Amino acid sequence: MVGARTEHIELVPALDGPAEVVLVEHLGSENFLHLLVGQQKLVTLVPPGERWHPGARARVTLRRPLCFDTAGQLLVA
């Protein structure tokens, strides 16, 4: 199983990206970005300086995500 926190998710604008922005919630110091990747929903935080809008597309990359074994124990690399 793989787990990813906001700091593990990197979004890169890409016209052909698999992720579509469906909602941007402005919270002042940061924004919640709601994405649809295939049939999966993903919500992450982005800095307010990043200019995302509904309909924008992105590539999603995981940087050093958390990995767990079948018993739920964290695997350390």
Intervals of the chain under pLDDT 50: none
Tokens standing for 51? Answer: 């200019």
Residue 77's pLDDT is: 63
Residue 46: beta bridge partners?
Answer: 31
CB 57 within 8 A of CB 19: yes
In order of their start, the domains of the chain are 2-75 (2.40.50.140)
Digit-coded pLDDT (tens) for 45-61: 998 888 899 999 999 98
